[in-house]
Amino acid sequence: MIKVFVVDDSAVVRQTMQQLLEGNAELTLVGSAPNPLIAAPSIRKLRPDVLLLDIEMPGMDGLTFLRQIMQTEPMPVVICSSLSTEGSKVALDALASGALAVIAKPRVHLKQFLEESRRELVQALKTAARSRPKKMIAAARPPSAESEKRPAVEGLHALAVNKPVVIGCSTGGAQAIEQVLTALPGDSPGIAIVQHMPERFTALYADRLNGLCRIRVREAKSGDRLERGVALIAPGGRHMQMRKNGGQYYVDVQDGPPVNRHKPSVDVLFRSAAGCAGADALGIIMTGMGDDGARGMKLLHDAGARTIAQDEESCVVFGMPKEAIGLKAVDQVLPLDRMAGAILSFDARG
């Protein structure tokens, strides 16, 4: 049984979660508390497998509590908060601080919402419980004013046909992508990224990364060129594909049905990169639940692209990389802290 602990100042949430989990064959509620100060001793004693955490609470807010947990004794945390509605900055801060999923709850009709969202809540808790969160050495860094002064990559160097990098990840990917991109110099090769993330989150997520990185990071739009010094994040709720025209690589953003239960889908991006870039591309698959991206990476590999998977030890969830490795679609398996170096080594080959 997966042991769940709920920290929420709403008695309605605590009671409803108990009712929703009653009779579940895989999940059981082992305790709840109205705020982190009361919850902390019980959590240490009960050692739950996953924590369902609100953000706005008296005494100590959930984001501060989350950061304390991730810096001392990391555990799987799912955020369920009204502050996450409309893709708020708080929700992104929570993901960057180690939360594995964010579920937006309304301020009204709360009990009805929880009952109607039972499947989403249960799936998020099950997924989180299978993860291995990593200790966060420090709290999420604020945007660096100095990073805004970096010069744009201009002239022939910017227009040079660069070898594109495509990255796909899911659970735990928000932190993983940040670690990779912040380690890259401002003239790195163009990067296209699919991170499974809800609509309205990706624009804020890209803005946050843009303030931390020497490369420029933005949410992708159809027709954007994949140029040096730029990383494009697929928008939530849209697929992103890559194409080549006049010696340059571009992305197209399109609607369509979910692929592998996801939109955007890593497989969609990887398939398009295999078709238009082939051996010129570098494909990287990182932490995430499920198998999205594995078959697309196999196409990349068979087209001559360089392919890399994140290793099990550094993954929060060794799902997507494991599936790609199982398909013999991976040239190299690397820890997360070597991904940026692998990108630069690939680029240096010319």
Mind telling me the catalytic residues? Answer: 170, 196, 292
- CA atoms within 13 Å, Cβ hemisphere of 279: 3
Exposed (0-12), middle (13-18) or buried (19+): which is 259, by Cβ within 10 Å? Answer: middle
Q: Which of 187, 191, 163 is nearest to 177 (CA)?
A: 191
Q: How far apart are CA 315 and CA 180, in angstroms?
A: 13
- Pairing, β 282-285 against β 248-254: unpaired
Please state whether 313 falls in left (phi above 0), alpha (psi between -120 and 50) or beta: alpha
Looking at residue 241, its amino acid is Q
Q: How far apart are CA 186 and CA 148, in angstroms?
A: 11
Q: Which of 23, 31, 21, 25 is nearest to 51 (CA)?
A: 31
Q: How far apart are CA 350 and CA 347, in angstroms?
A: 6
Q: Where are the alpha helices (DSSP H) in 47-88?
A: 62-72
Q: Where are the alpha helices (DSSP H) in 130-250?
A: 155-159, 173-182, 201-212
Instruction: Give the end-to-end CA distance of the chain in Å, rounded to a whole number.
Output: 52
Q: At 128, which helix (H) or strand (E)?
A: helix 118-129
Token duo for residue 23: 């009779």
> Which residues 6+ apart lie within 8 Å of 242 measured at CB?
164, 166, 192, 226, 249, 250, 251, 252, 269, 272, 273, 276, 277
